[in-house]
Amino acid sequence: MKITGRKAKIVVSSDGSGIVCQAGGLLLAETLRVSGLGRGLSAGLERWRRPGAVHDPGKIVADLAVALALGGDCLADIALLRSSPELYGPIASDPTVSRLVTALAGAGPKALRAIRRARAAARERVWVLAGDAGPGADGELIAVDLDATIVIAHSEKEQAAPTWKHTFGFHPMTAFIDHGSIGTGEAAAIMLRKGNAGSNTADDHIATGRLALAQVPAHLHKQVLIRTDSGGGTHEFLDWVAARRVKYSIGFALTPQIYEAILKIPLRAWTAALDAGGEARDGAWVAEITGMLDLSAWPKGMRVIVRKERPHPGAQLRFTDIDGHRFTCFVTGTRGRKLAELELRHRRRARCEDRIRCAKDTGLRNLPLHGFDQNQIWCELVALASELTAWMQMLALAGHQARRWEPKKLRLRIFSAAGRLVKGGRRLRLRLAARWRWAGLTTLAAIRLQALPAP
């Protein structure tokens, strides 16, 4: 078939005016305003403002976080905002940005504490504004998931080292506040570590847990549920968690004593496990072996729950599998709930892997700076960008499936929208393309945010 239609030639020029790229980033700028994060960063980082400097260090940090949320992966990507001063205000030059990051890195823990205090204060305000759509509403548990991940380094950066996966780079420990099935979650802490750092180092779990708890409003600490894989199943970390009287659900290594207890579990003691929808899952069962073990050296009230399942077809069996079944276990101090419900609650910590993937899509995939302290500042910027995105979704997209969209989809459908700024009536109007499929959603989100007062 011969195609007879002709496509008009497109002539490209660079003389457009009033056009805004990344117009959807206005939602992030509005979130900075209503959360008070921008103001908090400005107050906390004022001491690092150079005499006579034009640009506010707090705004530079906030601008970097917005740039990462929009898809940037290096300091120079702050140029994404520089072309739209009407939306993002004046943007510092690349040398100014680089000098500030170097100064903050040189300040060590002082700068990190200032940024983290601003984050914690903004988080508390956002959760209040979100109401029933926020974590901890109606007394619900606030799950904080700890996990480590590998970040590859492609050059000899400071303290980069071989990892346990036979790669080269870093092994940061992360903590994410889970939003359950309705949202993407918030980055509570990203603690940079050497590539050869251990997966079950108790001190690192405690340090990350402490940073994460500091990000949760103090009056909600009783609702916190700490979840980790078996890397957190150490005496020291469990003692630390129990001493803070927070709830926990932590993976536990299968010791010879546990295997011996498993062999003694009567068939009638096993109950069906639950799938993600809360229905009985075929081929998986749970049982409790607390009374079959000597737990006198462990935190008081700790329970040990075992899960057995038939490996999926094609899975390679381990030498520790018994009768063709695979066993895992976890410990918790929670009572008064069915074993299957506790096991399902623990298994949902796997959502932390999704949060890590989103963080890597928001600047964590590659640490662009050379110095270790500089890259720790970068990790803090990644956490800022991740939670800024999550707060925007919580406040502006509640009740819509976009609340669950991950960064790549948000950028494609909302942030990357182009618009035209029109001046008139002493105001600026941002006009999105009428044929843009998500223009209505973006407009509604902006209206919701602009209706909220700044602190």
pLDDT tens by residue, 356-411: 999 999 999 999 999 999 999 999 999 999 999 999 999 999 989 999 999 999 99
Residue tagged 């894989």 (tokens): 229
Other C-beta atoms lying within 10 Å of the C-beta of residue 448? 17
Cα distances (angstroms) measured from residue 68 to each of 54, 56, 384? 23, 19, 9
Mean pLDDT value across the chain: 91
User: Rounded to the nearest 10 degrees, what angle do helices 109-130 and 26-35 cross at?
Assistant: 90
Per-residue tokens: 191 = 């603690």
Residue tagged 């899975």 (tokens): 315
Residue ranges of domains in the chain: 19-108+369-450
Which amino acid is located at 177 in the chain? Answer: I
Do 301 and 278 contact (CB within 8 A), yes or no? no
At 5 the pLDDT is 59
At 286 the pLDDT is 95
The stretch 31-48 carries a mean pLDDT of 95
The helix/strand/coil state of 319 is: coil
For the chain, the first-to-last Cα distance in angstroms comes to 64
Strand order in the sheet with 161-162: 151-152, 168-170, 161-162
Residue tagged 């300091």 (tokens): 75
Q: Read out DSSP for 212-253? A: HHHTS-GGGGGGEEEEE-GGG-SHHHHHHHHHTT-EEEEEE-
- Element spanning 127, H or E: helix 109-130
pLDDT (tens digit per residue) in 184-210: 899 999 999 999 999 989 999 999 999
Residue 435 confidence (pLDDT) above 60: yes
Q: Provide CB contacts within 8 A for 369, sequence distance 6+.
A: 75, 101, 157, 375, 377, 378
At 316 the pLDDT is 66
Do 414 and 443 contact (CB within 8 A), yes or no? no
At 2 the pLDDT is 60
At 3 the pLDDT is 60
Do 189 and 175 contact (CB within 8 A), yes or no? yes
pLDDT (tens digit per residue) in 203-255: 999 999 999 999 999 999 999 999 999 999 999 999 999 999 999 999 999 88
Cα distances (angstroms) measured from residue 174 to each of 186, 191, 416? 11, 6, 28
Query: Which candidate, 88, 84, 329, 380, places its Cα nearest to that of 215?
Result: 380
pLDDT (tens digit per residue) in 134-152: 898 888 999 999 999 999 9
The stretch 282-302 carries a mean pLDDT of 92
Strands 303-309 and 326-332: antiparallel
At 14 the pLDDT is 82
Residue tagged 């662009």 (tokens): 368
pLDDT (tens digit per residue) in 278-290: 888 888 999 999 9
At 86 the pLDDT is 87
